[in-house]
Amino acid sequence: MKFTSLLAIITVYSGLTGVSFAAEPPPVESLPALVESAVNNNPELKTSAARWKMFASRIKQSSSWEDPMLMLKMQNMVNRYPLSFNKDTTTAKVIGISQQIPFFGKLALKEEIAGYEAESYRWQIEERKLELKRMVKETYYQIYAVDKALETVGRNLAIVADLLKIAESRYTVGQGAQADILRGGVEQSKMLEMQVTLEQQRKSLAANMDYLLARPSGSGFSSLPDFELPAVIQSQEELQELAYRSRPQIKSLANLASKGLAAGRLAARESYPDFIVSLEYMQRQSAMEDPGYDMYSLALSFNLPLQTGRREAMKAESSSESRMADEEINALKSIISYTIADNLAIMERRKKLVELYRTGLIPQAEQSLESSLIGYRVGKVDFLTLLDGRTSLFTYERELSESKAEYMMALARLEAAVGVELH
């Protein structure tokens, strides 16, 4: 028999006609809309996006040559005639330009390194989005479990009140004991205490959701719709392979490993010199029977890469960075494998419990409570047994909603571990 029919029996017996659980259903919260709002409005993500643009801007900087140098000078001026250009044949006005030219391939490698760094940070942002989605979903289903618990407590408070009415009526006619009324009062107080605790938890969870959504605290959070448990069709091995391909953190670390390899190639290139090409034009005037022909000079200079210790340190640094990223990938894969296995086990257990509560324990507890109520009315069952039956039903109903919520929270953690939506 349904739980609502049990309430009807109690209500008819106790003569209570004003109790009604029908109400206008409040608006429901949409989980996809909440997740989208969190991703779009989270200040940390906005800051990270701006920082990624900063890294991306470095790519073009890394591949650009240094600005050319312009040189203006007065050459070989005679001290006795400081502004005269016709007193000595070597006196000249000189204009020159020089350009530093990195050895072939260095700029391309610097651009590649900057690109890997920016791409790594971009995948870190995607990883942060996954984490934010997981937190929103977990908070959402925690609120669902608390709301369902509050509903169950509300129903049970009404039942206990009705049972107290019945106990008082029996006591009045000499068929019951005052101890039954006292036990019922204690049970009612315990339920009220639980209701206060749940209401506080609900407010805390709603405040946490406001924080995740980056909206003012106390914005309010309406009721949540019920749901069926979605199935995960992939096996554990398939989920692991999917995670290795899709997880943003793995892609971020892979880019860091590639950055280290590129930095190693750049360090090897540093053993080759960079060049400076310069061109000077000298404007001369006639002096001392010299016709003062103009002159020019062209020069090529380069550094001598003799600091081998510094370059060896660069190679060691890049090699360590690449190895570190590879080891972090291996460690992350181990964590992913454990997380997938653990949450799949949780989901399997919770799904079995939900089915057990729905089809077995709750219907049986409802029948047991109904039978106890009938027995109490005719004096064959004591009040304590009646309260125990109500407590069992209450416990199973709470555990049903908690198991459903735990299943969905485990699914949220599983999706965060894999890196994709699974339903």
Number of domains in the chain: 2
Token readout for 275 is 């060049």
- The contacts of residue 187 (CB under 8 Å, 6+ apart) are 160, 387, 390, 391
User: What pLDDT, on a 0 to 100 scale, did the predictor assign at position 226?
Assistant: 79
Query: 3-state class of 234 per DSSP?
Result: coil
Residues 215, 349 within the same domain = yes
Q: Residue 70 in 3-state DSSP?
A: strand
Indicate if 344 and 242 belong to the same structural domain: yes
The domain of 14 spans: 3-65+104-270+309-418
Q: Are 75 and 92 in contact (CB under 8 A)?
A: yes
Please indicate, yes or no, if residue 123 is contained in any of the structural domains.
yes
Residue 388 within a domain:
yes
423 is a domain residue: no
- Ranges of residues in the chain whose predicted pLDDT is under 70: 1-28, 163-164, 166-184, 219, 376-384, 386-387
pLDDT at 14: 42
- Same structural domain, 296 and 368: no
CATH code for the domain in which residue 118 is found? 1.20.1600.10
Together in a domain, 252 and 317: yes
Hey, which residues does 275 pair with through a beta bridge?
101, 302
Domain endpoint, select from 255, 289, 304: 304
The answer to whether position 336 is within a domain reads yes
CA distance 262 to 118: 14
Number of residues in the chain = 423
Torsion of CA 166, 169, 174, 179, to 10 degrees: 50
What are 213's two structure tokens? 């959504």
pTM over 0.85: no
End-to-end CA distance of the chain: 34
Residue identified by tokens 């169950």 is: 152
Three-state DSSP state, 226: coil
